[in-house]
C-alpha cells in the first residue's frame, strides 16, 4: 500500500493534436509506493497520458508536478526530471549498436556521471535478478522479445527512478513471453515501487493494482480499487469495456 507522500501530481491537463482532442481535463495524484493501472480502449489516450508525464509530449494545458517540480519538455531541467521517471515502451527500444550490458550502464554513466565500476556491478546484479546474466555480451537482435523487454526494465531501474511508467510492455510479445515480463513487474510491485502501468492484461491488472483508472475518450471515467472496478464497475462504459475480454462458453 502507499504512503501519504505525494510524488506525482497532474492538474487539469489537456492534450490536443491539431483539432483532435486526446486528453481532456485529467487530474491525478500519485502517492509514493502506489501502483496505478490504466486501462481503456485503443486510442483512448492512455499512451499519450504516460508520455506527457515524462515530457515526451507537451501538454496543451494544465500542469504536471514531480516532487513539486513542474514537468515541462521545453525547460532546462527536463533531463533531470526524466531521470526520476523511468519509462518502458511497448517496442523495447534497446539501442541496437550496444551490447546488453552497455545498454544498461550507458545512461547512468553518461547522464548521471556515476562510476562505471559501481554501475556495472549493479547492472550485473539486476540482470541476474531477471535471469539474463548469460546475455550481457549479446546484442539486442540476439534476444527474444521477452528478454529484450526485461533488459529494458533493468535499463530503466538502474537510473533509480522514483516513478516507473510501463506503456503496454507486453503488447508486442508472443503469449508465452508475456508471463516472464509480468513476473518481473510483480517482483517490482512487491518492492513497493511507484508505478503507472498501461496494460491490456486484465488478470495482471487486478493482481497488481492499488488503483485502476479507466480512461475513455480522453477522460478519466472511473478511478477505483481493482476489486470494485473488475467486479462491479460503476459505469456502463467500463462494463462494456470489460465485457470485451470475456467469452461465453458454447
Partner 1 sequence: MDTEVLRSYLPLFREALILTVRIGWFGIALAFAIGIITSALLHFKVPVLSAVAKVYIELFRNTPLLVQLFFIYYGLPVLGFQVSAEWCGIAGLGLLGGSYMAETIRSGLDAVPLSQTESALALGMNKRQLFGSIVLPQAFSTSVPALVANVIFLLKETSMFSAISLMDLMFTAKDLIGLYYDTTEALFLLVIFYVIMLLPVSIAGSFIEKKARFRIFG
Binding residues (CB under 8 A) for partner 1: these are 54, 56, 79-80, 82-83, 85-87, 89, 91, 93-97, 106-107, 110-112, 139, 141-142, 152, 155-156, 159
C-beta separation of 194 from 33 below 8 A = yes
Q: Nearest 5°: phi and psi at 11?
A: -120, 105
CB of 208 to partner 1, least distance (A): 22
Which residues make Cβ contacts (< 8 Å) with residue 41, sequence separation at least 6? 216, 241
CB of 207 to partner 1, least distance (A): 26
CB of 201 to partner 1, least distance (A): 22
CB of 42 to partner 1, least distance (A): 19
Distance of CA 218 to the CA centre of its chain: 18
C-beta of 165 vs 238, nearer to partner 1: 165
C-beta separation of 220 from 226 below 8 A = no
Question: Pseudo-torsion of CA 30, 55, 98, 116, nearest 10°?
Answer: -60
C-beta of 103 vs 199, nearer to partner 1: 103
CB of 73 to partner 1, least distance (A): 9
Closest CA to 50 of 20, 74, 12, 23: 23
C-beta of 81 vs 202, nearer to partner 1: 81
C-beta of 105 vs 221, nearer to partner 1: 105
Neighbours of 33 (CB within 10 A): 17
C-alpha cell at 180: 516472464
C-beta of 94 vs 123, nearer to partner 1: 94
Amino acid at each position: 500500500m502507499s504512503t501519504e507522500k505525494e510524488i506525482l501530481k497532474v492538474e487539469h491537463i489537456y492534450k490536443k493534436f491539431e483539432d483532435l482532442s486526446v486528453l481532456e481535463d485529467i487530474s491525478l495524484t500519485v502517492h509514493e509506493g502506489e501502483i496505478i493501472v490504466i486501462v481503456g480502449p485503443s486510442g483512448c489516450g492512455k499512451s499519450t497520458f504516460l508520455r506527457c508525464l515524462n515530457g515526451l509530449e507537451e501538454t496543451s494545458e494544465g500542469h504536471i508536478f514531480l516532487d513539486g517540480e513542474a514537468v515541462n519538455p521545453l525547460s532546462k531541467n527536463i533531463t533531470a526530471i526524466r531521470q526520476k521517471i523511468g519509462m518502458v515502451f511497448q517496442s523495447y527500444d534497446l539501442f541496437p549498436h550496444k551490447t546488453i550490458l552497455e545498454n544498461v550502464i550507458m545512461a547512468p554513466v553518461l547522464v548521471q556521471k556515476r562510476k562505471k565500476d559501481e554501475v556495472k556491478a549493479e547492472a550485473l546484479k539486476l540482470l541476474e535478478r531477471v535471469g539474463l546474466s548469460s546475455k550481457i555480451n549479446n546484442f539486442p537482435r540476439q534476444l527474444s522479445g521477452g528478454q529484450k523487454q526485461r533488459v529494458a526494465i533493468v535499463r530503466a531501474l538502474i537510473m533509480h527512478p522514483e516513478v516507473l511508467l510501463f506503456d503496454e510492455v507486453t503488447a508486442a510479445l508472443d503469449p508465452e513471453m508475456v508471463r516472464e515480463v509480468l513476473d518481473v513487474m510483480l517482483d517490482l510491485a512487491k518492492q513497493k515501487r511507484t508505478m503507472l502501468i498501461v496494460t491490456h492484461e486484465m488478470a495482471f491488472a487486478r493482481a497488481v493494482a492499488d488503483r485502476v483508472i479507466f480512461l475513455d475518450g480522453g477522460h478519466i471515467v472511473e478511478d477505483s480499487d481493482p476489486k470494485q472496478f473488475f467486479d462491479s464497475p460503476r459505469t456502463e462504459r467500463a462494463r462494456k469495456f470489460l465485457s470485451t475480454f470475456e467469452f461465453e462458453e458454447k
